[in-house]
Structures are given as structure tokens and as C-alpha cells.
Amino acid sequence: MSQHPNDSNEPLVKIRGLRFYRGDRAIFDGVDIDIPRGLITAIMGPSGTGKTTLLKLIGGQLRPNAGTIHVNGQNVHKLNNKDLYKLRMSMGMLFQSGALLTDINVFDNVAYPLREHTKLPESIIRKLVLMKLEAVGLRGARDLMPSELSGGMARRAALARAIVLDPEMIMYDEPFTGQDPISMGVLVQLIPRLNKASQLTSIVVSHDVEETADIADVIYVISNGKVIAGGPSEQIANSDSPWVRQFMDGLADGPVPFHFPAEPLEKDILGS
């Protein structure tokens, strides 16, 4: 596959006709998504629609049943192991739980990708790590162990680790879930700041409508395995589609029904 040079009009990630099944359930049933360069793209949808699965498909950890995913012009699932690992070095991923290595401290966690993939001397590694920790506000916490960090701090440490190799793209898996308002505020500030400062492309997977809609440039709404809306964020926020409105406004009932499918109530209670 030829690699296109950094053409700023070409989307960084191109997903076409993606189908992915878990058993009999279709998690994705023909999905087309374009992730533009240099912008923050949000992928939103109700829980269980496979948003995390999408990130794993983009990163090559899962194989789709049909369809293609191209990152920077390369078909992710046709790469051999060596090229796939090289591609992953240009992707940073922030897991929901941070996924820090629990047996080493914050500094060593952030230094890990540098020590594994580069032959830089320790003095330079130290400077790089401290700079990244400073960017997320954790330079003073460098000697703490992951078990001593609060949830929000663990996520920030994991973010520092994700950007330490200066990737082209960062994927955030539910970054706002379960955060207190202050940590949320910190992340809401950090994500666009990092995106702009390092000219990254960010993909944020979330179901926190308010925060995500605030920072996103492009929004895709996924439900039932299909993209029900996709476009610039103002367009989606003001959309008329009942699906999108139910999701964005947080309505309990609508196209996604409140009641799990069941028999009529009278039949259940009064017996048959």
C-alpha cells in the first residue's frame, strides 16, 4: 500500500463499510467514518454501542468481519506485525482506566515507551518525561506509584505516557466517565490544548454529551451499529433527527425505548 504524504485535506483515518460481529450481535453494520487531521472528532452514542471496540479496530487489536480501515493511507489490517507496531507508535491511546503499569512509578511509566523504542540517553529521557508531565500538571507526582494516584491523576499520567512519543493521533476512551467536576474541567481544558499545541488529531469516544460537544470539532453519533449522524459539531447539536435529539438532550424515551421489550403489563401482572 503506498503511503500518501501528509496531505492535510486527506482524512487521517478512513473507515469504509465496517462490519463487526460479536457472536450473532452486529456491533457495527456498515459504518463509514472520516477522521479529519488536526481536529477533535467525537464518537458518541448510547452505552454498549461498541465505541471502545471502534478504537480497538482502528488500532488493529481487533479484526473487522468486513470493511476497511485506513490510517495515513495504510490499510491497518493488511499490515504485517512489524509495520503494525510501527503504525501504533504514531498512535497514542488513553484507556478508560489509564492502564498504567502497576509495578513502576509514574516517571517510569511515562518513560516506558521512550526506553522501549528509542536509544536516547537517560538524561534526555528525563527531560522529555518531565516536559510531558509538566504539560499534564503532574511533574510533582513523578515518584508516586499508580496505586497512590486518584482516578483523575492516573488518567493524566496515562495521557502523558500516550503523548511521550509525539504521536500523530490520540484516541481517548471515555475520558470523562466517572470524573469529579474538577478533574473533568482539567481534561476538558487539556484535550484541545494538546491538540492545538502538538497539532494532533484527537478521537474522543464518549457518552458525556455536554463536555464532548463543547470541545469537539466533528461529531459522529452511532447507534445500533450504524452512524445516525455525522458532521461539524454545531450541525449535529442543532440537528432535527429524533435519534440525535434524544441522545443530545438526554431524553428517557424516544427512538431508543425506555422499556426493554416485554409483554403488555396487564398480561404479566394479572396472569394468563
Partner 1 sequence: MEQLARLGRIGISSLERLGRGHVLLVHMLSGFTALIMRPTLLIAQLHSVGVLSMLIITISGLFVGMVLGLQGYYILSQFGAEETLGVMVAASLVRELGPVVTALLFAGRAGSALTAEIGLMKATEQLSGLEMMAVDPIKRILTPRFMAGLISMPLLAALFSAVGIIGGHFVGVGLLGVDEGAYWSQMQAKIDLHEDIYNGVIKSMVFGFVCTWIALFQGHDCTPTSEGVSRATTRTVVHSALAILCLDFVLTALMFGE
Asked if 79 is part of the footprint of partner 1 (rule: CB under 8 A), the reply reads: no
Give the three cell numbers for residue 158. Answer: 496515562
Sheet holding 226-232, edge to edge: 91-94, 169-173, 201-206, 40-44, 218-223, 226-232
Shortest Å distance, C-beta 31 to partner 1:
21
Least spacing, CB of residue 91 vs partner 1, in Å: 7
Quick note: the x/- pattern for partner 1 over 4-33, rule CB under 8 A, is ------------------------------
CA distance 258 to 209: 19
What's at 189, amino acid-wise?
Q
Asked if 86 is part of the footprint of partner 1 (rule: CB under 8 A), the reply reads yes
Stretch that binds partner 1, among 36-44, 68-76, 81-89, 237-245 (CB under 8 A): 81-89
Length of the chain: 272
Query: 42: helix, coil or strand?
Result: strand
The enclosing H or E element of 109 equals helix 106-117
Q: Residue 130 region, left (φ>0) first, then alpha (ψ -120 to 50), else beta?
A: alpha
Q: Is 61 in the site for partner 1 (CB under 8 A)?
A: yes
Region from 82-90, 189-197, 203-211, 218-226 binding partner 1, contact rule CB under 8 A: 82-90
Residues between 95 and 124 that touch partner 1 (CB under 8 A)? 95-97, 99-102, 112-113, 116-117
At closest approach, how far in Å is the CB of 116 from partner 1? 5
Q: Closest CB to partner 1 among 86 and 267?
A: 86
Q: Which three cell numbers stand for residue 182?
A: 474538577
**Between 164 and 248, CB nearer to partner 1:** 164
Q: Shortest approach of partner 1 to residue 206 CB, angstroms?
A: 17
Looking at 88, 155, 156, 207, which residue binds partner 1 (CB under 8 A)? 88
Is residue 93 part of the contact set for partner 1 (CB under 8 A)?
A: yes
- Alpha-carbon radius of gyration of the chain: 20
- Angle ∠(184,87,121) on CA atoms, nearest 5: 80
132 near partner 1 (CB under 8 A)? no
**Residue spans of beta strands (DSSP E) within 23-62:** 25-35, 40-44
Instruction: Find the DSSP H helices in the chain.
Output: 51-58, 81-89, 106-117, 122-136, 151-163, 181-197, 209-215, 233-237, 242-249, 265-270
Instruction: Give the footprint of partner 1 on this chain (CB under 8 A).
Output: 56, 59, 61, 85-86, 88-89, 91-93, 95-97, 99-102, 112-113, 116-117, 158, 161
